Amino acid sequence: MTEREQKLLIALVKMVSQYLDEDGDEVDSISESAGEHALEVLADFGLMEALNARFGRWTEEGKRFRRDAAGIPDRQAIPATGSLKWTPEIGPDVKV
């Protein structure tokens, strides 16, 4: 990977981590074409395994790249979009 490719992949990895839903190692493009294309490009570089057009999974190399090159710390699975519910009586409530 060239230095230029690495810079572009860092930006793409950060975008995926910030805007797409993740559950453990799996990433959901939320059926947005930009997300689907991002997962496809990351798979082309071996950073992600394409599960289908919508979902991908970080490879070991991808997890290392996220941590070491992009500076994104390893993390536990986080709730996907839509898993928070607002109730006026008590405020935000996490679904179980």
- What DSSP state is assigned to residue 94? E
Mean pLDDT of all residues in 52-76: 90
Query: How many CB atoms are located within 10 Å of the residue 35 CB?
Result: 20
Mean pLDDT of all residues in 14-30: 92
Mean pLDDT of all residues in 22-27: 91
Look at residue 88 in the predicted model and tell me its pLDDT.
52
Total domains in the chain come to 1
Domain that holds residue 40: 3-74+81-94
Cα-Cα-Cα-Cα torsion 28, 33, 35, 36, nearest 10 degrees, comes to: 70
Look at residue 53 in the predicted model and tell me its pLDDT.
87
The percentage of the chain sitting over the pLDDT mark of 70, rounded to a whole number, equals: 77
- Radius of gyration of the chain measured on its C-alpha atoms: 15
Mean pLDDT of all residues in 36-49: 96
Look at residue 74 in the predicted model and tell me its pLDDT.
80
Query: The tokens of 24 are what?
Result: 């453990």
* Residues 9/65, Cβ–Cβ less than 8 Å: yes
